Amino acid sequence: MNRRMFLTSGIATVALSRMAKALGNSPFFQGAVPNGPFLPYWESLKSYRCPEWFRDAKFGIWAHWSPQCVPEQGDWYARNMYIQGSAQYEYHVKAYGHPSKFGYKDICHLWKAERWDPEALVKLYKRAGAEYLVALATHHDNFDCWNS
């Protein structure tokens, strides 16, 4: 087994997880390594079975709320605002100035949750007929949407 095969196999994940647990300090996350029904490799996850309620659920809502909602110019804003000639770049230059002077990190500071009302949102989703809700935790821009 070569290094690449080792690193891409479940063996590496299990070894790193067990090493982190033994050392009490994980390079992947802070706090204790959680105990659960699965080991951190794909073969273990393949044994997962969806709960019955989810198998029967016909409608769910994906809450995709992150700093890219500030300019309201669609997905991949954090990337496309830097690509000259793209519609998002043109919008950004007009609305905020050149990305070298006002970049995505500055957009992140504009994103606020002062009117965030999760109870009202869940009620709205339930009235719409949603049987489950999936909330965004970390977007492709690497912005954590929770207190990390």
More confident residue, 8 or 54: 54
The reported pLDDT for the residue numbered 89 is 98
Retrieve residue 111's tokens.
């994103």
Which tens digits make up the pLDDT trace of 101-147? 999 999 999 998 788 888 998 999 999 999 999 888 887 777 888 77
Q: Is 97 left (phi over 0), alpha (psi -120 to 50) or beta?
A: left
53 — pLDDT class (breaks 50, 70, 90): confident
pTM of the model: 0.60
CA 95 and chain centroid, separation:
26
Helix (H) or strand (E) holding 60, with range, is strand 60-63
Q: Are 145 and 113 in contact, with CB atoms under 8 Å apart?
A: no
Type of residue at 22: A
CA 72 to chain centre: 18
- Give a three-class secondary structure readout of 1-41: CCHHHHHHCHHHHHHHHHHHHHHCCCCCCCCCCCCCCCCCC
Q: Between these two residues, 32 and 54, which has the higher pLDDT value?
A: 54
Q: How far apart are CA 61 and CA 27, in angstroms?
A: 33
Mean pLDDT over 94-99 rounds to 98
Taking residue 43's Cβ as centre, other Cβ atoms within 10 Å add up to 11
Residue 134 backbone phi and psi in degrees, to 5: -115, 125
